[in-house]
Structure 1
Amino acid sequence: MTVTPEQSAWFSGMFTAMVDNVEQVVLGKCHAIELAFTAMVSEGHLLLEDFPGTGKTSLARAMSQTVQGVSTRIQFTPDLLPGDVTGITVYDQKSGTFEFHSGPIFANVVLADEINRASPKTQSALLEAMEEGNVTVDGVTRSTGVPFLVIATQNPIEQAGTYRLPEAQLDRFMMKTSLGYPDLAATIRILEGTSEVRHELAPVLTPQALVEMSAIARAVFVNPLVYDYVGRLVEATRSARQVRMGVSVRGARSLMKAAKTWAAAHGRAYVTPDDVKALAEQVLAHRMVLDPEAEFDGVTAGAVIGQILLDTVPPSRSDMA
């Protein structure tokens, strides 16, 4: 399948409409919103890590309202059980049969609020759903539906009573990003009340339209030189001296899928190395495990990715299309 100019224009227009819709609620964070929708269209999942009061939950809720589908919210707490997420099988005395009562994981957009406050056992209930789009309860496998997106939030400051997400869980998030505090102009707009606070946004696309956008993104052309570039970036994360565990193959595939969506969102039917560079830190950094000595010295995974981008020779400047 080749992306036509008409499809490219429609994709770019719909992507812009989604971003503009959410920006009515989350002021001054256009780039972060673009990253979030890139994960959504790329059939990935999003992890938002930031300080309290920066709009993590507002962004996730606004994204779920933008897509006209089923959205649910799970407030992760220490006493949350796996069955509270996936659902349980209940015996019906009248009919003499077991009936399955589905949990909130069966939705198009699932907001997992403060995901690191739940126990590892409960966190593991998301692993199958996030990877395969299925949930297995009592030996029966059920589909979560299409599209399916998990938007998880966590607070990096309050660590008391939390459980660190394991690497297997982090690797299932296509992107990890943050919002940060609004700039002065956006803060003044909020304080002055010039922007209405909307608790409900009108949806701008249907789940089927989102599926069509995902299909167009998958068809975006990638030059073999760009594949080579992504491969060398991932290899570099595994051989960096500050890194104990580099990026997985799943991470490399996620970066390629996200780069295709990013290119289509900017009106192009082909991927360039700049698309890869724009997303490398958000897609790769959270998948890396640094050496303890490097962490003690204040080295961050983002800094390692930045250095790799500087040191890795990009593809030759040829026609990427």
Structure 2
Amino acid sequence: MAVTEAQTTSSAPSPRPPRRQVDPRYALGRTVKYLVLFFFLVVVLIPVYVLVVTSFKGSGDATAARAWSLPTVWVLDNWGEAWTTLAPAIGRSVMLAVPASIISSILGSMNGFVLSRWRFRGADVVFTLILFGMFIPYQAVMIPLLQLVLGIGLPSGVPTLIMLHVIYGIPITTLIFRNYYESVPIELIEAGRVDGAGMLRAYWSIVLPLSIPSFVVVLIWQFTSIWNDFLFAVFFSSSQNGPVTLALNNLANGSILANYGASMAGALLASAPTMLVYILLGKYFIGGLMSGSVKG
């Protein structure tokens, strides 16, 4: 009988924990937050909807009056025309953005390490002067810069654009790496000094392996900025040797009767690499930004 009672007692269902009461104000605040986020999502996606829909419309269907309407007949000719026009320029943009991003990131990393850990007389002044390059509008120096490039005899095209983007990318890359290296514990570098590591050895063996999060941030930032640049492309290249932004502008303004479908398809093709980069590496971008925001 005792065993039976014990089994009956053990097999009885345990009482459920009391349900947690949700504060009505908290529930209302969460609902409002999601509604606001959904509203801004719709606002951001409205241009994307117009781009995608118009890219599949024929020439007579792609008008301002029917911008919100679905295509009467879905066509793919616009995508073929856009790809034929932009494919060479997309290749040139890749040859421009990839090496310029890598070179400017490496130079910014070296500058940031020296300015953060190897203090010398006037280091703050040098850092301030480097940062001035971030606040000078490109439009203010474009004419003198063009005269300088022509005076030196540099040809227009991708090599000149690489040099210019590397130079103008040094201030922002130096700032990001310097702030990141300030969070690296000084004890690591001191331990390297005790073991006989000089400045270059400490950078190569200790600091550089820790710089992956910051490199991800800088590479994404530089790649996006260089890929989307139009001002340098107008002044220092042509439609035959320029990047995709210049070719896209020529596609949109190249005929008297604008082909809105081909222009929209070209805009989607031109923006696809940067969107792909952010989709694949977006979480690493945010993580890299946060990794240098807290002193460690």
Q: Same fold (TM over 0.5)?
A: no
Q: Tell me which interval the TM-score lies in, with the shorter structure as reference length.
A: under 0.3
Structure whose alpha-carbon radius of gyration is higher: 2
How high is the TM-score relative to the length of structure 1?
0.25
Answer 1 or 2: which has greater strand percent.
1
Answer 1 or 2: which has greater helix percent.
2
The structure whose RCO (Cα within 8 Å, separation 6+) is larger is 2
